Structure 1
Amino acid sequence: MSELLCPICGKPTRVYMGNARKDRLCAYHAEQLKKGEVSIDENNLFVDKNGVILNKDYDCSKKIKENKSDNKKDDNDERLITKCIACGKETKNGNLFCIQCYHKYKDKKLLVKIVKCKEIEIMDESYEGMFKCKDGHIVKSKSEREIDNYLFEKGIAHAYEKSISLDEDKNHDIHPDFCLPNFKKSGKNVYIEHWGFNSNNIEYTKSKNYKLKQYKKLGLTVISTTEKDMNDPEAALDRKLEHFKYDIVNFADEE
Structure 2
Amino acid sequence: VWDDDYNVTANAALRDAAGLGRIWTQVTVAPWYPLYHTVFWVGYQLWGLDALGYHLLNVLLHGLNAILVWRILWRLELHWAWFAAALFALHPVQVESVAWITELKNVLSTTFYLAAMSCYLSYAGWQRSSGSSPAAGRAYGFALFLFACALLTKTVTVTLPLALLLLVWWKRGRIGRGDVLPLLPLFGLGLVLGLVTALTEKYVVGASGFAWSHDLIERGLIAGRAFWFYAGKLLWPDPILFVYPRWTIDRGLPGAYIYPAAVA
| TM-score, scaled to structure 2 | 0.27
Q: Which has the larger radius of gyration?
A: 1
Would you tell me which structure has more strand in proportion to its own residues?
A: 1
Q: When you count helix as a share of all residues, which structure comes out higher?
A: 2
If asked which structure has higher relative contact order (CA below 8 Å, sep 6+), I would say: 2
